[in-house]
Every structure is written in C-alpha cells, then in structure tokens.
Amino acid sequence: MADKKGKGIPAEAITSAVGKAEKGQLDELARLQGGDESVAYDLIIVAIYKAFKRRGGSHAQCVTATKQVIDSADIKVVIN
C-alpha cells in the first residue's frame, strides 16, 4: 500500500495528469503493471477532475477543486 499523496499536491501535477489524459498518454498500463505508482495517482486525479467537469466547472475551477479535495482527504492507494 502506498502512502497518501494528497497533502499539498501542486496544481501542476493535476494539469499534467489531465493533459496526458486528453492527449491519450495516460493509457500506460505497462508502467502501472510495472509498479509505477504515479500512473495510479494520475488515474485518480483525472477521475476527480472529470467528476468536477461533469458538474459544469471550467478547467481552472476543476483544477482548483481537485487540488482542494485531494488536499482535504487522507487518500491511500492500493495497486493490485
């Protein structure tokens, strides 16, 4: 189990994950299968960002909201 990453996540990490998803670079299952935790975190970041997007937020609002929610929660990630 990986430790939480949520505390004080930089906004750049969110825009980077979202950008990769939009460009189709997130489908890196090989890296995930190789134990690269950053891919798992990016998947979670994008899931939260898209949830805000579905609720009508602009890109800037969704990036801010994603950061706030991740920072407010103790998020643990299990990869298996």
Footprint on this chain of other proteins (rule: CB under 8 A):
1, 7, 21-24, 27, 29, 32-33, 39-40, 43-44, 46-48, 50-57, 61-62, 64-65, 68-69, 71-80
Minimum CB distance to other proteins, residue 12 (Å): 19
Minimum CB distance to other proteins, residue 26 (Å): 8
Minimum CB distance to other proteins, residue 1 (Å): 8
Judged by beta carbon, residue 11 or residue 55, the one nearer other proteins is: 55
Query: What letter does residue 2 receive in the DSSP assignment?
Result: B
**34-41 own/partner pairs: CB under 8 Å, 24+ apart:** 35/79, 37/2, 37/77, 37/79, 40/2, 40/77, 40/79, 41/5, 41/17, 41/77
